[in-house]
């Protein structure tokens, strides 16, 4: 992560997502996330550059997390657009 990115991340630490989204909306800046919600009662703040992924219907052969995970840098926050589906993207049973 560059020094500039580290400085930007430090500025966002301690802020909550709704506050940042509302501030962006008030300033007329695009990019606020409508309908964002926690999937669980998660109380830890997560701050970092977004590594965005858009999942689409499976192709042949179908893709997987392994297709992008090696491109994620330390400190990145993976943000996945699952096209409204509330299903798991990967995982294992054990």
Encode pLDDT of 77-88 as tens digits: 888 888 777 776
Ramachandran category for residue 39: left, alpha or beta (phi over 0 → left; psi -120 to 50 → alpha): alpha
Domain ranges of the chain: 1-40, 49-94
Confidence (pLDDT) at 37: 64
What distance in Å separates the CA atoms of residue 20 and residue 73, rounded to the nearest whole number? 23
Residues 27-69 have pLDDT tens digits of 888 766 666 666 677 777 788 888 998 887 776 776 777 778 8
Question: Phi and psi for 69 in degrees, rounded to 5?
Answer: -60, -30
Please tell me the distance from the alpha carbon of residue 47 to that of residue 72, in angstroms, as a whole number: 15
For 27, phi and psi rounded to 5 degrees?
Answer: -80, 0
The model carries a pTM of 0.58
Confidence of residue 72 (pLDDT cuts 50, 70, 90): very high
């Amino acid at each position: 992560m560059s020094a500039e990115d580290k400085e930007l991340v430090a500025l966002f630490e301690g802020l909550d997502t709704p506050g940042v989204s509302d501030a962006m909306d008030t300033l007329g800046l695009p990019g606020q996330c409508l309908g964002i919600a926690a999937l669980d009662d998660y109380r830890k703040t997560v701050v970092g550059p977004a590594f965005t992924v858009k999942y689409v219907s499976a192709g042949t052969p179908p893709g997987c997390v392994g297709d992008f995970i090696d491109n994620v840098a330390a400190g990145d926050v993976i943000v996945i657009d699952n096209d409204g589906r509330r299903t798991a993207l990967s995982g294992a049973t054990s």
